[in-house]
């Protein structure tokens, strides 16, 4: 069996170009497919997740092409057609959930599935509200595969998010694009707002207002077709987090990461790392296609422990695995709170974090309230363990980063899932000074 080993490096250096934001890439394809005209996309993430979304939209009637300069062009369709074959969404929770929202108002039937990891993830949180709009779902125990039939039912729909989830919020909003009646989403805890920003850029009539308790009330007046517009995809902060932590915990490192998206609803990881003493500077701040970006300069740092409140989770839910690795190299005890959502990601990430750290000599425990307590070892984190990635790209990459600064190598049993979001991760890190390679067990 071929496994991957990550060994200690003497430092990371250079300018690292992080791939495009996965969340924004999915939305650019989806909105472009539903829009009138041709949408030009620059910087699209070409990971397996996003390519699965592109292929599904082709089967629904959209025209999607890439030119020799790396630009993508999406020509929308007047109305989606019934696909001739099943829509395989691979490992993409974002892709499948947003696509269900988009298709829920079209009177066609579609069959959707994914890989074994995606088929184990809960979909009732999406199908339940969409059923209230008239869509019909045939499923087993609320999971993929799913056969769905959309509805042109036109009546006002109001929904309060039960959890802070951009996927649920986006699916509900997309279900309202063709309804003339308003769609209203109450968001008690604000979470990433890429859908609202991009819908506005595509000409949707959408408004976001604060409520009396500090949440958001999002109102979409549908009934008109989106209009194509150019999209520039910033580099993904979730992917950048791996390089950032790698440079922080690896002695004698200094790297620059250009064009990183710093949407304030996505940068919880940066807030926490700065609180831990990270040397991260923001250079050349600007706005691209409605999204704030900056070039980040990151230097090796002595990190200290921190207590991360549950309220941070919506702004960094995907970054907890790599944050946990950072805390392993911090001095003192760290507690990460409010991690219930981690249990329904590509794997049970809460348990995967604890298992991975423990196997590498770090004291870590999951607590009954879905928090994690970690005792960091400063610069003495030892490594030496073998990680079961369980088709979870963020677990695989996090522990490759751990190996870069550990006394003993860290082994990952399967890194194939990394292709879903960061296909060139290993080569990018190795070119900066890491030592990650495959070996046959």
User: E-strand spans in 176-278?
Assistant: 183-187, 205-210, 216-221, 231-232, 254-261
3-state secondary structure of 311: helix
Tell me the C-alpha distance between 169 and 158, whole Å: 11
- 8-state DSSP, 18: P
Strands 386-387 and 410-412: parallel
Query: CA dist 323 to 114, 223, 266, 269, 315, Å?
Result: 28, 43, 14, 7, 13
Residues designated catalytic: 318
Tell me the C-alpha distance between 410 and 385, whole Å: 5
Sign of CA dihedral 243, 247, 248, 254: negative
Tell me the C-alpha distance between 249 and 306, whole Å: 16
What is the radius of gyration, based on Cα positions, of the chain? Answer: 21
Count of CB atoms situated within 10 Å of the CB of 134? 19
Under 8 Å between Cβ of 161 and 185: yes
By C-alpha distance, which of 410, 352, 408 is closest to 380?
A: 408
Range 118-128 burial, b when 16+ CB lie within 10 A, else e: bbbbebebbbe
Residue 131, both tokens: 């059923």
The answer for residues whose C-beta is within 8 angstroms of residue 376's C-beta and 6 or more apart is 303, 305, 327, 328, 329, 330, 331, 332, 333, 334, 362
CA dihedral 22, 28, 33, 34 (to 10 degrees): 120
Residue corresponding to tokens 């092409």: 65
Q: In what order do the strands lie in the sheet with 291-299?
A: 13-15, 254-261, 291-299, 279-288
């Amino acid at each position: 069996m071929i496994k991957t080993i990550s060994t200690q490096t003497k430092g990371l250096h250079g300018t690292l170009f992080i791939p495009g934001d996965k969340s924004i890439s999915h939305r650019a394809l989806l909105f472009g497919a539903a829009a009138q005209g041709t949408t030009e996309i620059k910087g699209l993430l070409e990971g397996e997740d996003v390519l699965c979304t592109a292929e599904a939209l082709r089967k629904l009637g959209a025209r999607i092409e890439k030119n020799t300069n790396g630009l993508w062009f999406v020509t929308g369709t007047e109305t989606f057609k019934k696909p001739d074959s099943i829509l395989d969404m691979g490992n993409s929770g974002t892709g499948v959930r947003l696509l269900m929202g988009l298709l829920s108002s079209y009177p066609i039937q579609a069959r959707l599935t994914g890989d074994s990891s995606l088929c184990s993830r809960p979909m009732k949180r999406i199908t339940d509200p969409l059923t209230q709009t008239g869509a019909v779902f045939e499923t087993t125990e609320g999971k993929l595969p799913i056969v769905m039939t959309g509805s042109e039912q036109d009546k006002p729909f109001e929904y309060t998010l039960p959890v802070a989830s951009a996927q649920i919020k986006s699916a509900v909003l997309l279900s309202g694009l063709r309804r003339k009646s308003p769609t209203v989403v109450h968001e008690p805890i604000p979470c990433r707002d890429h859908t609202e920003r991009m819908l506005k850029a595509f000409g949707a009539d959408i408004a976001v207002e604060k409520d009396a308790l500090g949440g958001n009330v999002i109102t979409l007046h549908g009934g008109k077709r989106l209009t194509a517009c150019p999209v520039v995809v910033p580099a993904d902060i979730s992917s950048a987090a791996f390089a950032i932590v790698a440079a922080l915990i690896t002695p004698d490192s200094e790297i620059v990461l250009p064009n990183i998206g710093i949407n304030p609803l996505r940068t919880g990881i940066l807030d926490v790392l700065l609180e831990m003493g990270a040397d991260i500077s923001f250079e050349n701040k600007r706005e691209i296609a409605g999204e704030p970006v900056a070039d980040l300069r990151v230097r090796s740092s002595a990190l200290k422990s921190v207590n991360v409140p549950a309220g941070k989770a919506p702004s960094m839910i995907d970054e907890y695995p790599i944050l946990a690795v950072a805390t392993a190299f911090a001095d003192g005890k760290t507690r990460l709170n409010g991690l219930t959502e981690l249990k329904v990601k590509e794997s049970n990430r809460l348990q995967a974090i604890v298992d991975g750290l423990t196997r590498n000599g770090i004291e870590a425990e999951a607590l009954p309230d879905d928090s994690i307590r970690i005792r960091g070892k400063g610069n003495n984190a030892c490594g030496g363990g073998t990680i079961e990635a369980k088709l979870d790209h963020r677990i695989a990459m996090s522990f490759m980063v751990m190996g870069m600064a550990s006394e003993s190598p860290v082994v990952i049993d399967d890194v194939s899932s990394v292709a879903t979001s960061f296909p060139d991760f290993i080569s990018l890190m190795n070119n900066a000074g890491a030592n990650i390679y495959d070996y046959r067990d």
